[in-house]
Structure 1
């Protein structure tokens, strides 16, 4: 990237106060500018072509399609999209899946503020960036071997699982993920089989235990 060219950033988070805080933090750096904001994955997808940021800073825990699905759709449309994912979750499933979806970076919202600046610069340069704690957990998980039951879910099953755990109906999930209700029903059956869950309440409990949704 041209050293004299500012890194254009789009902030995607459903909390306005969070976006304000990130905007203020990023504005401190002379080589970064915030050129757009969105409060959902759907809104980000709609605005992206017009804004054309160098880096999309994407919260994963948003209503609607959520961050991972938004990353998948953006990169399916344009392989050059560079995404830095942010999350308050402490699990390893979210970073694994969003990196697999095509994000270049993953940063915990509990990280030091200056780390956001480093992460944005790294992702803008096309480098993978993981905060130290997330990298440690991923490494420990790999050393431990095996996958827990949640990680046996396919990418689409995981997306449906998160929506179900949030209490969404099959019809609503079909609308959010652009699937037919029958397809969602099939995923639901497979999810229950893989996770050993009998109903939606048990799915929610599994998601909470794995740190995949906030209580």
Structure 2
């Protein structure tokens, strides 16, 4: 029997690319797709796939919520995260919620396929950049200033620190502009950030984004 896979990503073109990559491999078949956390949960219940490949940045509730709900339904579910988010905080949160492995979208396609095989063998694979982020975090003591943020707040901070405007973040996460601004206010208060520039540097220091990705921000 082929290994059945559920793809979860909010971009249809991206899902199509992953489907083509996966189904070129003998013994792998994509049996369902989902664009958000709610549909991921329903598709998992309907198809009971052998593996879920899931992005964390989804429209509406985050991929962390999708992992949580799927694992509540099936404690043995195998879920491989494939995401642009590479900070140690969000990686640890994904594993704590029930992820089986974590690969960044910056990785070569072969690394995703290698991770798929590893998860199916019962291992907990990470791409090289994710492993380095975790190692840096452990050297620093394993505690981040971002640990008090919710998954949604982490997503908003990551996208903002990566250079997206509040409106772009709202569009990407299917939120209202007011909701994004309210979340940013909570994030600033939680982190003690005095300015937008300070907020970006906190995100860089915590490994949520790298300095090369962060935009120049006025300190006003």
TMscore range, shorter length: 0.7 to 0.9
* Length-normalised TM-score, structure 1: 0.76
Per the TM alignment, residue 37 of structure 1 is displaced from its structure 2 partner at its CA by 0.5
* Length-normalised TM-score, structure 2: 0.74
- The alignment status of 1:158 with 2:147, answered yes or no, reads no
Contact 2:118–2:124 under 8 Å retained in 1: yes
What corresponds to 2:10 in structure 1?
14
- The alignment status of 1:137 with 2:129, answered yes or no, reads no
Per the TM alignment, residue 198 of structure 1 is displaced from its structure 2 partner at its CA by 7.4
Q: Which moved further from structure 2: 189-198 or 112-121?
A: 189-198
- After superposition, the CA RMSD in angstroms is 3.2
Q: Describe the superposition over 1:32-88 as per-residue Cα deviations: whole angstroms up to 9, x where unpaired.
A: 111110111111112211111100000111111011111011112210111000111
Distance 1:158 1:43, change over 3 A: same
Query: Secondary structure of the equivalent of 1:110?
Result: coil
What corresponds to 2:88 in structure 1?
92
Per the TM alignment, residue 97 of structure 1 is displaced from its structure 2 partner at its CA by 0.8
Q: Which runs of 4+ in 1 moved over 4 A?
A: 163-169, 187-193, 201-209, 212-215
Aligned equivalents of 1:76 and 1:24: distance in 2?
A: 30
Query: Secondary structure of the equivalent of 1:128?
Result: coil
Aligned equivalents of 1:68 and 1:28: distance in 2?
A: 28
- The alignment status of 1:62 with 2:58, answered yes or no, reads yes
- The alignment status of 1:47 with 2:36, answered yes or no, reads no
- Alignment gaps of 5+ in structure 2: 158-168, 216-220
Aligned equivalents of 1:188 and 1:132: distance in 2?
A: 31
- Alignment gaps of 5+ in structure 1: 174-184
Match runs of 1:68-79 below 5 Å: 68-79=64-75
Query: Secondary structure of the equivalent of 1:126?
Result: coil
Aligned equivalents of 1:84 and 1:57: distance in 2?
A: 5
Aligned equivalents of 1:80 and 1:68: distance in 2?
A: 16
Per the TM alignment, residue 204 of structure 1 is displaced from its structure 2 partner at its CA by 7.3
Contact 2:90–2:154 under 8 Å retained in 1: no
Contact 2:9–2:35 under 8 Å retained in 1: yes
Q: How many pairs are equivalent?
A: 194
Contact 1:162–1:207 under 8 Å retained in 2: no
Query: Secondary structure of the equivalent of 1:134?
Result: helix
Per the TM alignment, residue 103 of structure 1 is displaced from its structure 2 partner at its CA by 0.5
Per the TM alignment, residue 188 of structure 1 is displaced from its structure 2 partner at its CA by 9.5
Match runs of 1:33-44 below 5 Å: 33-44=29-40
Aligned equivalents of 1:160 and 1:21: distance in 2?
A: 26
Match runs of 1:134-213 below 5 Å: 134-151=130-147, 153=148, 157-162=149-154, 165=157, 166=169, 168=175, 193-197=189-193, 205=200, 209=204, 210-211=208-209
